[in-house]
Amino acid sequence: MSERAYDRDRLRQFLSGEAAGEGLSRRRVLRMLSAAAGLAAAGAGIGAGTAAAAGRPGIVKPLPAELFTVRDTNAETNWAALRGTGYHTPVDRFFVRNHTATPVLDPARWRLTVWGGGLRGRAAEFSYDDLRSLPAVTSSACLECAGNGRSYYASQQGDRVTGTPWTLGAVGAARWRGARLSDVLRAAGLSRRAVDVMPRGLDPVYTAGGTDYGHVRRPMPVAKALDDVLLAYEMNGRPLLPDHGCPARLVVPSWVGIASVKWVGDIEVSDRPLFSPWNTVFYRLFGSSYPPGGSAPLTRQPVRSAFEAAPGEAFAAGRGHRLTGRSWSGGGGIRRVEVSTDDGASWREARLHDAPRPGGWVRWSTHWHPQEPGPARLMARATDTAGTTQPSRSVPNDQGFFFDAVVRHPVRVV
């Protein structure tokens, strides 16, 4: 089934009350929907979990201020820290997005259970060694939060949205190594009746606004699960760190980061469509530009670009500077990047340093010779191989997902 057909079918099934999975009745979904709306009205971010309430981000790795900006339970990569780092984002500066807190799990005691009506027989169990004994594959892929860039809805457009106010640092690219999810599912006895696959995390349950949403989990169609999804245990040549999903996590290339469930403990394989709060009340687009039930569940990431520079960075007047950045898209590779340093009056093509590749990003550079001291804005606009170009304005949605407009990066000429 194509992704478009999947989106359309799930939306129709959800609205007609065919929601299945873990006793998630339509009535319960609608209750959660109104709880989430209440949360939005109260202005409480959906990222406000328990660990943050206790004043700690719940992240294990060091978060030095040069590399990260901590936002509740999450850590955003500072783009200036990516300058000169090569294609893959070093793990010491890879962003962390946690609904609650990082669990520290022992790979030797970890078990993965694959179960459900979409299997030919009973549930199957895999140890860490079982997983590592399946054929290992390596894949370079970006991982990005659907809410990346969210703060620009307010700062550039004056829109009111809820959620973690990321700038553009909720993205990274890594060399992932692991088993193909398709090999795991086949080893578990995947049947031809299978429709949806839902991984679930072993991190603490997510509660917000008085509602318990349970463990982080989000279904995907079996077609995507069998396509290019990994059950990864290594990142950039080393075992996963606890913060990035040790012992194992999904990597779902091109799709919203929430699909790449960390600390996977079980995977339900269903012969009926599955629903969870993460594809019904979260990670859909709600608001005046969308139908009352929201958009279809979000899948592919939009087109985005970022400069490898700090906000407010100083550049000397009367001198040449090399500006660098990266662009990426869930819709395909990046084939063109244009840069403007005069508030969009003129655009010039940046030089691309990587070939366009689906699921990856391209590094680019351009020269800038500012003349007059004073404030300035750097703008980059990318076009992907599907022909999608970043717009100058994003259509807002209540939870602030998918900010894809050209960002006006403030700098100072001194």
CB 230 within 8 A of CB 139: yes
Q: Cβ of residue 397: shortest distance to ligand MTE, in angstroms? A: 16
Judged by beta carbon, residue 254 or residue 324, the one nearer Mo ion is: 254
- Which tokens sit at 271? 């012969």
Residue of 57, 149, 247, 257 that binds Mo ion (CB under 5 A): 257
Site string for Mo ion, 132-171 (x = CB under 5 A): -------------x--------------------------
How many whole angstroms separate alpha carbon 128 and alpha carbon 190?
20
Kindly state the helix (H) or strand (E) to which residue 292 belongs, with its residue range. none
Judged by beta carbon, residue 57 or residue 257, the one nearer Mo ion is: 257
396: cis peptide before it, omega within 30°?
no
Q: What is the DSSP code string of 313-346?
A: EEE-TTS-EEEEEEEE-TTS-EEEEEEESSTTS-
3-state secondary structure of 90: coil
Q: Cβ of residue 77: shortest distance to ligand MTE, in angstroms? A: 9
Q: Cβ of residue 399: shortest distance to Mo ion, in angstroms? A: 11
**Closest to 279 (Cα-Cα) out of 1, 75, 97, 9:** 9
Length of the chain: 414
**Binding of residue 277 to Mo ion (CB under 5 A):** no
How many whole angstroms separate alpha carbon 389 and alpha carbon 406?
10
Q: Cβ of residue 203: shortest distance to ligand MTE, in angstroms? A: 5
How many whole angstroms separate alpha carbon 222 and alpha carbon 214?
23
Of all residues in this chain, which one has the CB nearest to Mo ion in the complex? 145
Q: Cβ of residue 146: shortest distance to ligand MTE, in angstroms? A: 7
Q: Cβ of residue 143: shortest distance to Mo ion, in angstroms? A: 9
Of all residues in this chain, which one has the CB nearest to ligand MTE in the complex? 201
Q: Cβ of residue 52: shortest distance to ligand MTE, in angstroms? A: 12
Residues that bind ligand MTE (CB under 6 A): 94-99, 143, 145, 201, 203, 216, 244, 257-258, 260-263
Judged by beta carbon, residue 150 or residue 381, the one nearer ligand MTE is: 150
How many whole angstroms separate alpha carbon 304 and alpha carbon 329?
6
Judged by beta carbon, residue 6 or residue 401, the one nearer Mo ion is: 401
Count of CB atoms within 10 A of residue 170's CB?
Answer: 24
Strand-pairing partners, residue 172, are 143
How many whole angstroms separate alpha carbon 352 and alpha carbon 337?
8
**Binding of residue 219 to Mo ion (CB under 5 A):** no
Beta strands at 111-115 and 321-328: parallel, antiparallel or unpaired: unpaired
Give residue for tokens 């993460």. 278
Judged by beta carbon, residue 151 or residue 366, the one nearer ligand MTE is: 151
Picked from Mo ion, ligand MTE, none, the partner binding residue 79 (CB below 5 to 8 A depending on kind) is none
Judged by beta carbon, residue 44 or residue 60, the one nearer ligand MTE is: 60
**Binding of residue 97 to Mo ion (CB under 5 A):** yes
Picked from ligand MTE, Mo ion, none, the partner binding residue 203 (CB below 5 to 8 A depending on kind) is ligand MTE
Name the site residues for Mo ion (rule: CB under 5 A). 97, 145, 257-258
